[in-house]
Amino acid sequence: MSELERSRYLLWSLVALAYAIAFPLAWSVGMRIDYDDFTGKLLATLGFLAIVGGWCGYRRMLRLRVMVETICAGLLLSLPGMMFVYLSMRLDMPLADHFLAAIDRGLGVDWPSMIGFVDRHALLARILMLAYTSFSFQLLTVPYLLSIFGRTTRAYRMVFAYGAMIFISAVFASAFPAFGTVATYPLDASKLQNLNPYFWSDFVPQLHAIREDPNFIFRLTETKGILTFPSGHAAVAAICAWAMWDLKPLRYPALLLNVLMAVSAFTIANHYVIDVFAGFGVAAICIGLACFLTKARSAKSLPAEAAMTVQGVGYPTPPANP
């Protein structure tokens, strides 16, 4: 089996496993789910995948099929992924803000001073906000670019790493739930000049609700990024920077964007600096898993796309660089 086939199989296995575990786990802990919006998004994604992905497979348009599959797989993973995130907070473990803040202080981090510095520089605040909000945009465009440029194996690996990151992060977060820096460093938002404190506290009501309300109902349209440790933005930044490294014309612009997105996690959002380092660590684990589990075991195996071509899946194209 080629690395491309292994990567595709691994990604869809993760999608199936996520759904097989998420709903029974939610029922076991008594978390109620509003299925209306959830089902609509699920059926729309599956319908698009079946029609467009099936057509691309029938027409032997390998790169386009990979693009459709990876983007749809990412969307499909996000649905049970958010359930896992909320389930991790449902355990109601003791808050870890004091512990995480102590680590930051041990590293010599002065969060209020960093915020003050960024707030005094309007251009810097704007750049970091744009980098922070590129999160969803990159998750959609990076698989597209990898597919179009023939890095199909890496496209599957990137989306697998993203999905694995969600679930591994939820496991770590269940032991270290936190409200973030705003719980440790009270800051008067009315005195800010250039920073928007929206992301510092927008998630707080949902975090309180999932931890304290026994009648809480999980609604996909109301979900927020309620994990602070580890930082999902930092993890995605590392995964996207790695995924784009093989595209030489875009390598360094993507690296710069993702360095800024990681930095924005503890300025635009309310992450401790240790959250960012933890996000990098989770990303490294997930990238390593994606590469190790999909590496072809036979030295005689054909290059990924060449193997698919021999089997009649696609037209001959330059070999993909994993």
**pLDDT tens digits for 242-293?**
999 989 889 999 999 999 999 999 888 889 999 999 999 999 999 999 999 9
Q: How far apart are CA 51 and CA 59, in angstroms?
A: 12
Return the ∠ at Cα 238 (arms to 232 and 241), rounded to 5°: 135
Q: How far apart are CA 190 and CA 123, in angstroms?
A: 19
**Residue 228 Cα distances to 35, 174, 275, angstroms:** 26, 11, 7
pLDDT band at 297 (very low <50, low <70, confident <90, very high): low
Assigned token pair, 290: 């994606």
pLDDT confidence of residue 276: 94
Of the chain, the percentage scoring pLDDT greater than 90 comes to 54
**Largest interatomic CA distance in the chain:** 64
Q: Which residues of 116-140 are buried (b: 16+ CB within 10 A; e: fewer)?
A: eebbeeeebbebbbebbebbeebbe
**pLDDT tens digits for 22-53?**
889 888 888 888 888 788 888 999 999 999 98
**Residue 163 Cα distances to 127, 130, 160, 197, 308, angstroms:** 27, 24, 5, 28, 25
pLDDT confidence of residue 240: 96
pLDDT band at 102 (very low <50, low <70, confident <90, very high): very high
pLDDT confidence of residue 199: 83
pTM, entire model = 0.87
pLDDT confidence of residue 310: 37
Indicate if the pLDDT at residue 321 is higher than 70.
Answer: no
Q: How far apart are CA 145 and CA 19, in angstroms?
A: 27
CA-based nearest residue to 211, from 184, 178, 182: 178
Return the ∠ at Cα 284 (arms to 278 and 288), rounded to 5°: 150
Burial label, 12 (beta-carbon count in 10 A; 0-12, 13-18, 19+): middle
Indicate if the pLDDT at residue 192 is higher than 90.
Answer: no
Assigned token pair, 318: 């330059």
Q: Which of 219-223, 225-229, 240-244, 302-306 has the highest mean pLDDT?
A: 240-244
**String of DSSP letters for 183-233:** HHS---GGG-SS--THHHHTTHHHHHHHHH-TT-EE-GGG------SS-HH
pLDDT confidence of residue 39: 87
pLDDT confidence of residue 190: 79
Instruction: Calculate mean pLDDT across residues 59-77.
Output: 92
Indicate if the pLDDT at residue 138 is higher than 90.
Answer: yes
Give Cβ neighbours of residue 254 (< 8 Å, ≥ 6 apart). 142, 240, 241, 244, 245, 247
Q: Would you tell me the crossing angle of helices 248-264 and 232-244 to the nearest 10 degrees?
A: 170
pLDDT confidence of residue 122: 93
pLDDT band at 313 (very low <50, low <70, confident <90, very high): very low
Average pLDDT in the chain: 87
Indicate if the pLDDT at residue 6 is higher than 70.
Answer: yes
Least confident of 9-13, 156-160, 167-171, 219-223: 219-223
Instruction: Calculate mean pLDDT across residues 67-77.
Output: 93
pLDDT confidence of residue 295: 87
CB 264 within 8 Å of CB 123? no
Indicate if the pLDDT at residue 226 is higher than 70.
Answer: yes
pLDDT confidence of residue 34: 87
DSSP state of 49: I
Assigned token pair, 197: 């404190």
* SS3 call for 32: strand
pLDDT confidence of residue 306: 47
**pLDDT tens digits for 164-182?**
999 999 999 999 999 988 8
**pLDDT tens digits for 50-66?**
999 889 888 888 899 99
φ, ψ for residue 197, nearest 5 deg: -80, 15
φ, ψ for residue 217, nearest 5 deg: -115, 125
